[in-house]
Amino acid sequence: MEETYGHDGTRPMSGAEKVDFLDICKLRQSCRGFSERPVEHDKLVKCVEAGRLTHSGCNSQPWSFVVVENPEMVSEISKCGRQLKQNAFLGTAKAFIVILEEHALLSPVISCFLDSQYYAKGDLGAAAAYICLEATTQGLGSCHIGLYDRAKICELLDIPAEKQFGAVIALGYPAGDAIRSKNRKPFEDIVRFV
């Protein structure tokens, strides 16, 4: 019988507790409207823990995380994401997680042939995905923000200006509970088995 472990990684899950990962993937969507309900600190901790546990090339873990939960700072960061009259919904976000790129230390054998940051971008993307999926399991909505004033965020959060961002993720409880249908390319158009 296959053993499946719980969130704490220490005990097997019973059949009643087992969650289908694809169901979580189907539930997760970019949330563009958050309710007034504040996000509990422990749920943000779990989201960052999921990011921390993400796989990475040579286990280099090329990331650090800044969790913004202070309401005044959340308000300031939300303004940084409302560029070109876009992303007005960020004004309703209750928290942000900024993923920063750190120097990736690859194994000596690999680093002889590849730059140490070769895998980092993919690793940071995986960490962002883990955070967003964990947010879904916590009942939170998330949105990976692509447009933001990086320099202003660095200034507000005391981040060195040269630091690269892996992601800026807005979090909060969704204002509504509707799950949109996913408009994706057909499976058979993008998958080939050989």
pTM: 0.86
What is the domain-level CATH number for residue 120?
3.40.109.10
- pLDDT, tens digit, for every residue of 67-111? 999 999 999 999 999 988 899 999 999 999 999 999 877 665 565
Contact 77, 156 (CB under 8 A): yes
**Number of other CB atoms surrounding residue 88 within 10 Å:** 12
In the chain, the number of structural domains is 1
Please tell me the total number of residues recorded for the chain in this structure.
Answer: 194
Q: Is 33 exposed, middle or buried (0-12, 13-18, 19+ CB in 10 A)?
A: middle
Q: Please report whether residue 194 resides in a domain.
A: no
Side-chain-side CA neighbours of 86 within 13 Å: the count stands at 9
- Rg of the chain over all Cα atoms, to the nearest angstrom: 18
Q: Please report whether residue 9 resides in a domain.
A: no
